[in-house]
Structure 1
Amino acid sequence: MIKADIALADLSYEPTWHGDRLTIGPSRLTPYAHPMLEARVVRAPGRWFIVVRERLADSFGDTDKHVVIDAPDDTTYHALHHECLLWPLDYVLIEAAQAGHRLRVRAGLLGSAPVYGRVTDDQVKISWDSADFSDRPAMIDMEVASHQLALRTTYAARQLYTGVVLLTERASLHVEPGRARYRYPEPIEESIPAVDDGEDRLPQFSEALRRAVSLRPWLEGSVSLELSGGMDSATVAVALAGLHKDIDSKGILLDGDVRGPQVRRRQLMAERLGLADHTVDITAFPPSLDLSAPPEPYGFCREFYLEACSALWASARDKGRHTLFTGVGGDELFPAYLDEISVGAAKGPIWARDARSYAEELLTPRALGAARSQPLFDAPASPVPVTSLLANACRAPDLLKHGQWPVHPLSDPRLAYLCHRLPRSSREGREVMRRYLESHLGGDVFPKGYLKETFADVLPPLIASHADTLKAQLKECALADLGLVDRHAVIALLATITNTRSHPATSAFASFLSLERSARQASNP
Structure 2
Amino acid sequence: MIKAQIALSDLSFDPAWVDGGVSVGASHLRPHAHPMLESLFVRGAGRWFVVVRERQATGRVATDAVNVVDGVDDAAFHELYQASLLWPLDYLMVEVAQAGQRVRVRAGLLGSVPVYARVLDDRITLSWDAADFADRPAFIDLEIASHQLALHTMYAARQLYTGVVMLTERASMHVEPGRARFRYPDAVAAAEPAADDGEDTLARFADALQRVVSMRPWAEGRTSLELSGGMDSATVATALTRRHANIDSKGILLQGAVRAPQVTRRSLIVERLGLADRTVDIDDYPPGLDLSPPPEPYGFSREFYLEACSALWTTARERGRDVLFTGIGGDELFPAYVGELSERTANGPVWARDARSYAEGLMTPRALGAARSRPMFDAPASPVPVTSLLAHACRAPDLLKHGQWPVNPLSDPHLAAFCHRLPKRSREGREVMRRYLDMHLGPDVFPKGYMKETFADVLPPLVAKHAKAIATQLRDCALADLGLVDRDAAIALLDTIVQTRAHPATSAFASFLWLERCARQASG
State the TM-score, normalized to the length of structure 1: 0.99
State the shift of 1:301 in Å: 1.6
Paired with 1:83 and 1:189, the residues of 2 have a C-alpha distance of: 25
Paired with 1:220 and 1:303, the residues of 2 have a C-alpha distance of: 28
Per mean C-alpha deviation after superposition, the further-off stretch among 49-58 and 70-79 is: 70-79
Whether 1:372 aligns to 2:369 is no
Structure 2 counterpart of 1:290, which letter?
D
Q: Which residue of 2 aligns with 1:48?
A: 48
Structure 2 counterpart of 1:85, which letter?
L
Whether 1:21 aligns to 2:1 is no
State the shift of 1:59 in Å: 4.3
3-state SS, counterpart of residue 34 of structure 1? coil
Q: Which residue of 2 aligns with 1:281?
A: 281
Paired with 1:271 and 1:71, the residues of 2 have a C-alpha distance of: 55
State the shift of 1:21 in Å: 1.8
3-state SS, counterpart of residue 436 of structure 2? helix
State the shift of 1:62 in Å: 3.3
State the shift of 1:61 in Å: 6.0
State the shift of 1:60 in Å: 7.4
The CA deviation string for residues 99-129 of structure 1, in whole angstroms up to 9 with x for no partner, is 1110000000100101000011110000000
Paired with 1:71 and 1:150, the residues of 2 have a C-alpha distance of: 53
Paired residues for 1:242-321 under 5 Å: 242-321=242-321
Paired with 1:299 and 1:21, the residues of 2 have a C-alpha distance of: 24
Paired residues for 1:457-468 under 5 Å: 457-468=457-468
Paired with 2:15 and 2:224, the residues of 1 have a C-alpha distance of: 36
Paired with 1:88 and 1:310, the residues of 2 have a C-alpha distance of: 30
State the shift of 1:153 in Å: 2.8
Question: Relative to 1, partners in 2 of residues 1:60 and 1:290: Cα closer, same or farther, differing over 3 Å?
Answer: farther
Paired with 1:288 and 1:263, the residues of 2 have a C-alpha distance of: 25
Structure 2 counterpart of 1:206, which letter?
A
Whether 1:415 aligns to 2:415 is yes
Paired with 1:292 and 1:210, the residues of 2 have a C-alpha distance of: 46
3-state SS, counterpart of residue 438 of structure 2? helix
> Quick check: 2:104–2:174 contact (8 Å CA) kept in 1?
yes
Count of equivalent residues: 524
Q: Which residue of 2 aligns with 1:441?
A: 441
Q: Which residue of 2 aligns with 1:489?
A: 489
Structure 2 counterpart of 1:314, which letter?
T
The CA deviation string for residues 357-394 of structure 1, in whole angstroms up to 9 with x for no partner, is 00000000000011111211110011100000000001
State the shift of 1:304 in Å: 2.8
> Quick check: 1:42–1:70 contact (8 Å CA) kept in 2?
yes
Structure 1 counterpart of 2:389, which letter?
L
Structure 2 counterpart of 1:118, which letter?
R
State the shift of 1:71 in Å: 4.6
5+ residue gaps, structure 1, are: none
3-state SS, counterpart of residue 169 of structure 2? coil
3-state SS, counterpart of residue 368 of structure 1? helix
State the shift of 1:521 in Å: 0.4
Paired with 1:194 and 1:510, the residues of 2 have a C-alpha distance of: 40
Q: Which residue of 1 aligns with 2:234?
A: 234
3-state SS, counterpart of residue 521 of structure 2? helix
Paired residues for 1:463-478 under 5 Å: 463-478=463-478
Whether 1:154 aligns to 2:154 is yes
> Quick check: 1:60–1:217 contact (8 Å CA) kept in 2?
no
Paired with 1:159 and 1:344, the residues of 2 have a C-alpha distance of: 34
State the shift of 1:303 in Å: 2.4
Paired with 1:153 and 1:482, the residues of 2 have a C-alpha distance of: 22
Paired with 1:115 and 1:153, the residues of 2 have a C-alpha distance of: 19
5+ residue gaps, structure 2, are: none
Paired residues for 1:31-42 under 5 Å: 31-42=31-42
> Quick check: 2:153–2:387 contact (8 Å CA) kept in 1?
no
Structure 1 counterpart of 2:454, which letter?
T
Paired with 2:514 and 2:20, the residues of 1 have a C-alpha distance of: 34
Q: Which residue of 2 aligns with 1:516?
A: 516
3-state SS, counterpart of residue 345 of structure 2? helix
Deviant stretches of 4+, over 3 Å: 59-62
> Quick check: 1:194–1:422 contact (8 Å CA) kept in 2?
yes
Q: Percent of pairs identical after alignment?
A: 71
Paired with 1:95 and 1:483, the residues of 2 have a C-alpha distance of: 41
State the shift of 1:404 in Å: 0.3
Whether 1:7 aligns to 2:7 is yes
3-state SS, counterpart of residue 344 of structure 2? helix
Paired with 1:449 and 1:346, the residues of 2 have a C-alpha distance of: 21
Paired with 1:304 and 1:253, the residues of 2 have a C-alpha distance of: 15
State the shift of 1:484 in Å: 0.3
The CA deviation string for residues 136-160 of structure 1, in whole angstroms up to 9 with x for no partner, is 1111000100000010030000000
> Quick check: 2:45–2:73 contact (8 Å CA) kept in 1?
no
Paired with 2:175 and 2:129, the residues of 1 have a C-alpha distance of: 20
Paired with 1:353 and 1:71, the residues of 2 have a C-alpha distance of: 59
3-state SS, counterpart of residue 58 of structure 1? coil
Paired with 2:283 and 2:2, the residues of 1 have a C-alpha distance of: 35
Structure 2 counterpart of 1:267, which letter?
S
